[in-house]
Amino acid sequence: MTSIDTYKLSFDLGIVKDIALSRYDTSERKKGRNDNELFNVESPSNTIYSCDKLGLGIQRIQVNGSTNEVILKGSAKVLRDQYYEGINLNTWERVIQGYNDTGLIKLDPVDVLNNAKLLSVDVSANMVMDQEPWQYITAMNMIKVNEKYKVEPWKNQGKNVNGISFRGNQRSFKERLIFYDKEKELNNTKELRQYSDQYKNVLRAEMNFTEFRRIRHYYEKNTLQAVLNSKVNANYLLFEKINSKASMAILRLFQGHYEGMTPLQLIKERGMETIIKEDCHMDWDTVNEFILLIQKSRNPSRMRKSFRETYVRLIDQGQKGGKILEFRSPLMDELSHKLKIAV
């Protein structure tokens, strides 16, 4: 059963039981007219009605006067003592109760579940680890993932680094998977700090969906009901995809040792093997940074291909360093297993 952390969803105004539009902030859109009786205004299609930051876990209620569309934006934090469970079929009624308690809108949880479409969503998994979360985050920092993904530190709301982010470089679609120490993150939310004991040694995984087609790719439909009813473990599937060609590597930046040379001069001077072995210490991340540095604005794909062929050949010859096709460690094995069975 899927667990949702944050979401943005929409549904038709017709399923709303009651709404106090006079208490909403308004902004004007293009001119038009809509005769829906719920809008007691002269030119309703000109207007967007919205209320923001309505309480813990309820970020926005918005009504579009031109499309009769209601948008809700929030997070599982509305569940408070049930936050660990996340938003699922068992907790959904409580999520809607949070909106009803504002007095701004009245909704039936079943109606919303049956009619809502997800515009964006984060699906999450909590894993109680054998070691402290930072050890797994460090291990992931030392993995060379395939070059379609970029590894970056993850910060909680601009605070200290608390995790790691894998972000896809694909232009055709966007993917991001983050892992972080949930206990530390929770201690930054005063309303939930009292529940932090539940998160001892919990490593949280979250996959971010910002496009309809990526939601449909994993869940077939982008409806709320389809996602919450699904048994698809999207976090695990993406992690295995990212980690399918991994190697042990310490992430290091290669900076300006060959200023002034053209790429051809530099390669002739040093040779690919020497650059890979001596300058980059068999670290593919460093090799890649080196290629980007010397190529500057030019497309590095052809040069990268040549370096990769040399790199793989050196590994096949028994050079010490990251093994590009396979990497396992007890920490990573545990992480992969626990993510696979996470609910």
Assessment of whether the complete model's pTM goes beyond 0.75 = no
Q: Which of 165, 136, 162 is nearest to 149 (CA)?
A: 165
More confident residue, 276 or 268: 276
pLDDT of 49 above 60: yes
More confident residue, 46 or 227: 227
Topology, domain 116-246+329-343: Alpha-D-Glucose-1,6-Bisphosphate; Chain A, domain 4 (3.30.530)
Please list the residues that pair with 28 across neighbouring strands.
47
Dihedrals φ, ψ of 210, to 5°?
-125, 5
**Domain range annotation of the chain:** 9-115, 116-246+329-343, 248-326
pLDDT for res 288:
82
pLDDT band at 214 (very low <50, low <70, confident <90, very high): very high
Which of 150-159, 184-193, 217-226, 268-277 is most confident? 217-226
pLDDT averaged over every residue in the chain: 82
Interior/surface letters 87-125, b for 16+ CB within 10 angstroms, e for the rest: bbeebbeebbebbeeeebbebeeebbbebbbbbbbbbbb
Q: Which of 275, 274, 315 is nearest to 291 (CA)?
A: 275
Least confident of 12-21, 115-124, 162-171: 162-171
